Structure formats: structure tokens, C-alpha cells
Amino acid sequence: MENSENGGVEPKQNNKGKHRKPKPWDDDPNIDRWKIEKFDPSWNEGGMLEVTSFSTLFPQYREKYLQEAWPIVKSALKEYGISCELNLVEGSMTVSTTRKTKDPYIVVKARDLIKLLSRSVPAPQAIKVLNDEMQCDIIKISNLVRNKERFIKRRQRLMGPNSSTLKALEILTGCYILIQGNTVSAMGSFKPLKQVRKIVEDCMQNVMHPIFHIKILMVRKELEKDPTLAHESWDRFLPKFKNKEKRPYTPYPPPPQPSKIDIQLQTGEYFLNDKVKSAKKWQERQEKQTEKTAENKRKREAAFIPPKEPVVQDTKSDDGGKDLAAMAISLKKKAKEYGRQNSAENVNAEAYIAESGEPSKKKSKRKHS
């Protein structure tokens, strides 16, 4: 700040970005700035000048497994020039750089590896974190819930029955997720890890159930397949879940409830005589008694009310007429048969023999024709 001739103060000029000039690769569309290039040892031929080391403690129940899996971990780190040490007395694991270490960031990856091993991640899965494409995130959930019983319930909610919710999250996010004790270990790329952390924190803080997050992820996965919606907002397609409305916090207590004397003052009953009060109470008691007796009477009389009989509908159709006609025909046939039987019983033997000798007219006519 400098004083001017008039006694005023002149503002200092901002020289930030003074030497910034546009580069030819700033607007190049062919360059993918999010791509992680694989490390080439020729970039750092001299190696590391200083030794960097990280150590972490592990629980006692992991001691036996780490003893068995330590040769696999040691051989995996040896490829990158990292030395590792398992101290069973102190219960710690240590990784450090050597002269053969070329990649300066691999020691950070080795630190993540021993952290995952201490959080019960299997060694073959934890070794994958040494790849450049794989990252890890260890989410601490013990400090999100104070009550122990509530903490156990919400942690079980995150896992789901038979770990079904956890498997669905692994499929949709493409991350490896393991819940162990007070932490959640996740392995994957940056974007899915961010989603996993959001889901875990929302579940433990009772903001949103993991099932709702799974529904949203499923809708997003389907929308990603449509190239026409790449530059549009997806808010209209995503499901919206309403949370329970919480009452706004007010420092003032709720208004007190009116007492019996206040109610009597409002109705004017407080100023009545004792005789009038007792007469009023007796009248109210009588009204309640009459209502009760009427109700009991209705209940008693309800047992003597006969049930409604089903109404029989008269079916006047053509089927009845057809049945009568068929019955009349059958009766006529039976009458004819009965008549024939009576005539056969009263036949004279001589007349029958005489008639049987003569040919009938009907048969002779048929033969001529």
C-alpha cells in the first residue's frame, strides 16, 4: 500500500497469473486428464534418496492369519522394491522404501495394503490395491452412532439378510466392501468409493435406507445406457423419497394445559352454588345411565331378532315348459305300452293262429314295390 500525493491510499495491483500463458494442450480434446498412466521406472532411474516407512497395529485375532499369508504379501511388495516386516511382539506391520524403489507413490499404496490386512481383508484381495486403478477407503462408523444397540441394528441394516444388501451394493458400485467391527473397508475406483461412503454414512446416521440408494443406482445404471440423455438432467427419472418431517426446534416450552379450575372459570361453573353443582352432576349421571340402559337393551333384543331368510327368485323360463312337454310325451308312451300289454294278455289262441297264416297287407305292398 502506498500513500498518494493527496494523502489517499492506492490499492496494490494483483499480479496473480501474470506469467500464465495459454498452452497448446489446454484445449486438446484428445487428452484424457482423468486417465492414470502406468508408472515407468525410467522416469525415476536414480531411485529414492530418503527412506519412508509406515506402520500400523493389528488385532490379536489376526495374528495367525497374517503369519500364514505374510510370504504372499512379502513377494508382492518385493516386485515394487518395498520391504515389509511383521512384528508379532508389538502386534504391528511396517513397510518402508529401499534403494530399489522407483515409484515414489507405491509406499502409500503399501500403507493402504497393511491397513486393509489389519481390518480383516483377505491377503489376495488386499494385494490388488497396489495396482494404479485400484484405490481403497476405510470408513469409521463407530463415531456416527452413540448408542451401542442402535449401532448394531444399523450396521446389520447395511449388511441385510444373508448379506444380500451388501452384495447388491458390490454389484452396482463395482467395489469390494467388507464390514468388520467399527469400520467398513471398500476397494475400487474413486467415483464408486465416493458413492459407497455416502451410502454407509446415510445408513448409520439414519438419513436414508440402503435399499433406496440401491433403487437410485439401478435407475442410474439404466439411464447410462441411453446416449441421448448424456447431457440432460436425470432428476425427473430418479425416485424421490420423503423423509419424516421433524418438528422445528424452538427454545420455548409448549403452552401449559388448562387445569380443572381454568375450565370451570371459562364455563362459569366455578361461580355456581354447591346445590346447583350437585344437581348438574346428578343430571349428567342420569343421562349417562339412560344411554347405558338403552344400549344394554338393544344388545339383549338383538338376540331375539330372526335372521333374514334368503329370497327365492321365481325363474319363469322356457326350460319349465320343455320339461312339462317331455313329461307328457313319456306318459303317453307309457300308456300305449300298458295298453299293448293288456291286449296281448286277452288274445284268443285260435284267432291268433288264423291271422298268422294270412300275409299282412303292409308286407305284401312292400314286396310289390
Percentage of the chain beyond pLDDT 90 is 48
Distances (CA, A) of 86 to 65, 82, 89, 91, 127: 12, 14, 9, 8, 16
Residue 9: predicted pLDDT: 57
Residue 235: predicted pLDDT: 82
pLDDT grade for 364, boundaries at 50, 70 and 90: very low
Residue 89: predicted pLDDT: 93
Q: Are 122 and 164 in contact (CB under 8 A)?
A: no
What domains, with CATH codes, occur in the chain?
Answer: 38-132 (3.30.1370.10), 134-242 (3.30.1370.10), 258-288 (no CATH)
Is the model more confident about 332 or about 68? 68
Mean pLDDT along residues 52-67? 94
Q: What is the mean pLDDT of the chain?
A: 84
Mean pLDDT along residues 337-345? 69
Alpha-carbon span 356 to 44, nearest angstrom: 138
- Three-class secondary structure of residue 246 per DSSP: coil
Percentage of the chain beyond pLDDT 70 is 84
pLDDT grade for 234, boundaries at 50, 70 and 90: confident
pLDDT grade for 367, boundaries at 50, 70 and 90: very low
Beta bridge partners of 269: none
Is the model more confident about 157 or about 352? 157
pTM for the full model?
Answer: 0.59
Q: What is the pLDDT of residues 246-264, one digit of tens each?
A: 778 888 888 899 998 999 8
DSSP string covering 193-237, please? HHHHHHHHHHHHTTSS-HHHHHHHHHHHHHHHT-GGGTTS--TTT
Weakest-pLDDT range from 10-14, 69-73, 183-187 = 10-14
Residue 169: predicted pLDDT: 94
Residue 14: predicted pLDDT: 67
